[in-house]
Amino acid sequence: MSVSTAAAAQSVCAPLPVLGRDVTVPLVTGGEVTYAALDYAASAPALQRVWDDVAAYAPYYGSVHRGAGYLSQLSTDLFENARRTVAEFLDCRADDQVVFTRSTTDSLNLLAAALPAGCQVFVFETEHHASLLPWQDARVSYLDAPRTPQQAVQTLERALADRDPHGPALVCVTGASNVTGELWPVRELAAAAHAHGARIVLDAAQLAPHHPVSVQDLDVDWVAFSGHKLYAPFGSGVLAGRADWLRAAEPYLAGGGASRKVTRRADGGVDVEWHESAARHEAGSPNVIGAYAVASACKALTEAGFDTLVARERHLIDTVRAGLAEVPEVRVLSLFGDDAPRVGVISFVVDGWNSSHFAAALSAEYGIGVRDGLFCAHPLVRTLLGSDPQSQGECGAPEAAPGEKSLNAIRVSFGAGTPDEHVERFVKAVKELVRRGAKWQYRTEEGRCVPVV
């Protein structure tokens, strides 16, 4: 992006207002500073718009689907309208189902529970644990980490060509890596899956907050994402896509709401007729506030315009990457190379530093919140670090097994609510820490690196 383009992106789109944007935190060296939340990949702050919408609805809170009163009917309409809003946001097909869940993890475990008998699952080792681990009751083929998008497609095609062509198969792939931020070739992987008679589910937890996601354009069968990464509060998620496997499966949870009819049998047992709609997998009183919050976030991002949001985020990415490139001791982790398109997620290691120590110093001395560790993507981070593990630093890493060198990284992530000042402060802090070292002493306490007080 040129300087003029970057400036235009800044002027066209100011950061979207988020909760916590004015929160101040104490520095171990004295004084306070406005907190720089640069851990969006774990949980993005809620949009102020979302919080205001939820607060406006709260006095009208009522039971959903089973109440005759006005507030119950209002809440039911709100819940079902949220389902339609999410379907529009994802550009779902007319006959797709939108199931509200707790998170991406919950969504993918729901789909795993709905797999047809004998289904074979193909998943790259580079996935977040939420999409790597739910399939262990199925026949799983774990695919090696590719080093280019083209290699990813070729690896999948070879694996699918060797499968039983008569049984069901599912491919699970991320849209954007939660470690490197790199975009995956979802459309090409979907084409490869379908060419070999397989279906595909997209883990859009890191993609949906940054880029438009169209089920139809990408030609994926299902999409899963979490509200807390999409600028909504914790506790809500979505699984959207084809209805047939979901309708054929036993309910994810058995209980009220999932059942349409329950009768006693002569032998004393019960017969159950389950719903065929999304309600089949939404037993119990639904999280109407969570669903409404997700829908509000979908509307806010759509109204802000993804073209503008993407342009501004590219400016932030360029600022961080250019700053880190000026520090020889910093190595940015990547699968696909420096030129790969990416979202605002960047992981790196610093020569001579334990990553937990570095992250602790960023927080305690600069008021900057980042993430350190293996980011719930242990196989991927270990692959990226390869035979170049960090030396043990002043503080230990809780992820290191007994006798193993510290093997962890630092992740900085940002999005629609990030001010320029936060990434500029981060780049300045990295340079100062590498050049001058930490100003404070740190120690390991309950698995975390903390300042000595």
Task: Provide the 3-class DSSP secondary structure of residue 226.
Answer: strand
For 202, residues 6+ apart whose C-beta sits below 8 A from its C-beta are: 173, 174, 175, 186, 213, 218, 220, 222, 223, 224
In this predicted structure, the answer to whether residue 407 has a pLDDT above a threshold of 80 is no
Q: What is the pLDDT of residue 7?
A: 44
Query: What's the pLDDT band for 156 if we cut at 50, 70, 90?
Result: very high
Q: What is the pLDDT of residue 263?
A: 94
Q: What is the pLDDT of residue 363?
A: 98
Q: What is the pLDDT of residue 368?
A: 98
Tell me the two tokens of residue 315: 């400016």
Q: Cβ of 225: how many Cβ atoms within 10 Å? A: 30
Weakest-pLDDT range from 61-70, 75-84, 231-240, 387-396: 387-396
Mean pLDDT of the chain: 92
CA 334, CA 340: separation in Å to the nearest integer? 9
In this predicted structure, the answer to whether residue 65 has a pLDDT above a threshold of 90 is no
Q: What is the pLDDT of residue 403?
A: 42
Are 160 and 153 spatial neighbours (Cβ–Cβ below 8 Å)?
Answer: no
In this predicted structure, the answer to whether residue 17 has a pLDDT above a threshold of 90 is yes
pLDDT, average across residues 425-433? 98
Q: What is the pLDDT of residue 1?
A: 40
Return the amino acid letter for 248: A
- What is the H or E stretch that residue 423 is in? helix 420-436
Query: What's the pLDDT band for 406 if we cut at 50, 70, 90?
Result: low
Q: What is the pLDDT of residue 386?
A: 84
Q: What is the pLDDT of residue 13?
A: 62
pLDDT, average across residues 320-341? 97
Share of the chain above pLDDT 90, in %: 84
**Active-site residue, selected from the candidate residues 92, 376, 395, 449:** 376
What angle is formed at CA 96 by the lines to CA 231 and CA 150, rounded to 5 degrees? 70
Q: What is the pLDDT of residue 392?
A: 42
Answer with the residue of higher pLDDT: 42 or 398: 42
Distances from the Cα of 49 to the Cα of 35, 55, 87, angstroms: 20, 10, 20
Q: What is the pLDDT of residue 389?
A: 43
In this predicted structure, the answer to whether residue 321 has a pLDDT above a threshold of 60 is yes
Residue carrying the six token digits 């992106």 = 9
For 321, residues 6+ apart whose C-beta sits below 8 A from its C-beta are: 332, 338, 346
CA 364, CA 218: separation in Å to the nearest integer? 43
The closest alpha carbon to 160, from 129, 116, 190, 128, belongs to 190
Query: What's the pLDDT band for 12 if we cut at 50, 70, 90?
Result: very low
In this predicted structure, the answer to whether residue 136 has a pLDDT above a threshold of 50 is yes
In this predicted structure, the answer to whether residue 404 has a pLDDT above a threshold of 80 is no
In this predicted structure, the answer to whether residue 148 has a pLDDT above a threshold of 90 is yes
pTM given for the model: 0.92
Phi, psi (degrees; rounded to nearest 5) at 291: -65, -40
Query: What's the pLDDT band for 440 if we cut at 50, 70, 90?
Result: very high
CA 112, CA 422: separation in Å to the nearest integer? 39
In this predicted structure, the answer to whether residue 391 has a pLDDT above a threshold of 70 is no
CA 201, CA 179: separation in Å to the nearest integer? 19
CA 179, CA 194: separation in Å to the nearest integer? 27
CA 124, CA 87: separation in Å to the nearest integer? 27
395 belongs to the catalytic site: no
Give the N- to C-terminal CA distance of the chain in Å, as an integer. 44
DSSP string, 282-314: --SS--HHHHHHHHHHHHHHHHH-HHHHHHHHH
Per-residue pLDDT reduced to its tens digit, 335-383: 999 999 999 999 999 999 999 999 999 999 999 999 999 999 999 999 9
Per-residue pLDDT reduced to its tens digit, 238-266: 999 999 999 999 999 999 889 889 999 99
CA 172, CA 185: separation in Å to the nearest integer? 13
Query: What's the pLDDT band for 181 if we cut at 50, 70, 90?
Result: very high
Answer with the residue of higher pLDDT: 12 or 422: 422
